[in-house]
Amino acid sequence: MTPAQTASVMIVGSGAAHAVVNAILKSGRDKMSSRALIDGFSALLILPAAFFVSLPHGAWLWLAGSWATHLVYLFCLINAFERADMTVAYPILRGVAPALAASVAVGVFHEPITLFTALGIGLVSAGVMTVGLGRHVDRRALGWALATGATIATYTVIDAQGVRAAPSALSYIVWVYLMLGGGIGAIFALWRGPAFIVAAKSEWKPGLIAGALSIVTYGLALYAFRLGDTPRLAALRETSIVFALGIAIFVMKEKVTTGRLIGIAAIGAGAATLLVTG
């Protein structure tokens, strides 16, 4: 396979794993404690790799920006999930991200984009938003979801630049998880205080699974960004909504509507367009 095709396969796999991680987070009773467990476990699991990869020289500022943006992102994500069903919050927050990320990547960093790539991004974004906006949405939930989407776009562009600036993709991936997992996980655990201990006793197993999958999902995405262009890959990753919707319907027993099925069709058409352009 060509580097672009390899990046496409990685990003779709990343999207599938991402849907599972978010389903685990959504199903947790104490979502901030659940997120602390996920990030903390991801840092612990990847810690041994730090002794075998080089330091991410040239990418420290990108890592700092990523850390700050992820902190805001996770806070917004937790609030969005506390106020709306996964089939509402997840599509909205993922739907606004690819168009914003593409705009910044092209406008600020002058990454290339073709007409067909722009069409694919538009179809994916429209499809994802259709899935989420096909029913009444609480204004606060909508606000948190849109804020989450904006931070997703921000950290996507930051990390795409950072992973290219680092000596290797693995170097950047390891340090992303050490900084995010160790730092943000600790902040959320301290924030919840005794409630975190209570949640950890009953939710450590799903937290461990989600922590491992978290490394897979964003590790694949970061490696893909080193191989391909940000606008196309950021949109292609939003195929995660198809996996997320399947989990929400068949596992979490949330309802599906005709509007959501139309949205899924648009996502599929957009993904096919992006795969062809790759």
pLDDT digits (tens, 9 = 90+) for 77-93: 999 988 887 767 777 78
Per-residue pLDDT averaged across 37-46, rounded?
Answer: 96
Per-residue pLDDT averaged across 105-124, rounded?
Answer: 91
| pLDDT at site 82 | 87
Q: Which of 41-45, 48-52, 149-153, 242-246 has the lowest mean pLDDT?
A: 242-246
| Two tokens, residue 204 | 């450590």
| Two tokens, residue 110 | 């002058």
Per-residue pLDDT averaged across 176-185, rounded?
Answer: 91
Per-residue pLDDT averaged across 148-159, rounded?
Answer: 95
| Number of residues that this document lists for the chain | 278
How far apart CA 235 and CA 232 sit, in angstroms, is: 5
pLDDT digits (tens, 9 = 90+) for 216-255: 999 999 999 999 999 999 999 878 878 877 887 788 777 7
Per-residue pLDDT averaged across 50-63, rounded?
Answer: 96
How far apart CA 99 and CA 236 sit, in angstroms, is: 11
C-alpha to C-alpha distances, 262 to 143, 197, 273, nearest whole angstrom = 24, 43, 17
How far apart CA 92 and CA 135 sit, in angstroms, is: 12
Contact (Cβ atoms closer than 8 angstroms) between residue 89 and residue 81: yes
pTM above 0.85, yes or no: yes
Report domain extents, the chain.
3-277
How far apart CA 255 and CA 43 sit, in angstroms, is: 35
Contact (Cβ atoms closer than 8 angstroms) between residue 156 and residue 228: no
